[in-house]
């Protein structure tokens, strides 16, 4: 049974501070992308040389599940794997749901998030849906559910397309 994604709604104190440019994304996530490619080479070698844009949620779930079940001492550490999976998940959300990498601020902190920003044409869409993909992965590091990325993407899709008229930002 899938673990539901908990999306917390904030009614105040949410801001998109800055949308990252392509250059800023490349610079900020260079190490994360390299780590994710290491995971791909180890657990999905036939995809190891493919750009992350061609991967989907099932691929991420498979690689994460393989990493979780890897008994070898040479397995990538949890913190390094979490940042790699966070980067890959954020990149995937940008592709699938037209989200954007941004620096955001909520009542607690500034963070890098992927953000869906409504164009305002559909009144049933929320103004913002924001997810910190690194925090999403970190919170699920011990969960043995092998569909965390599929579940997360599905929940975000529901947030974007079925939110109703609240207009309040959501953040993971």
pLDDT score, position 127: 72
pLDDT score, position 144: 75
Q: Would you put residue 166 in left (φ > 0), alpha (ψ -120 to 50) or beta?
A: alpha
Q: Which position has the higher pLDDT, 170 or 145?
A: 145
pLDDT, tens digit, 9 for 90 and up, residues 58-94: 999 999 999 999 999 999 999 999 999 999 999 999 9
pLDDT bucket at 146, cuts 50 / 70 / 90: confident
What is the reported pTM?
A: 0.81
Whether the predicted pLDDT of 130 surpasses 50: yes
């Amino acid at each position: 049974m899938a673990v539901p994604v908990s999306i917390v709604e904030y009614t105040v104190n949410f801001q998109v501070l800055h949308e990252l440019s392509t250059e800023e994304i490349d610079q900020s996530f260079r190490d994360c992308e390299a780590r994710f490619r290491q995971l791909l080479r180890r657990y999905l070698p036939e995809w190891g040389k493919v750009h992350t844009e061609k991967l989907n949620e099932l691929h991420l779930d498979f690689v994460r599940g393989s990493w979780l079940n890897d008994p070898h001492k040479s397995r990538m550490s949890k913190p390094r794997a979490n940042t790699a999976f966070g980067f890959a998940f954020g990149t995937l959300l940008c592709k699938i749901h037209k989200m954007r990498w941004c620096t955001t601020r909520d009542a607690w902190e500034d963070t890098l998030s992927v953000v869906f920003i409504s164009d305002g044409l559909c009144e049933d869409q929320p103004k913002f849906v924001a997810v910190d993909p690194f925090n999403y992965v970190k919170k699920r590091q011990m969960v043995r559910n092998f569909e965390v990325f599929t579940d997360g993407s599905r929940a975000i899709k529901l947030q974007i397309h079925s939110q109703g008229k609240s207009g309040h930002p959501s953040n993971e």
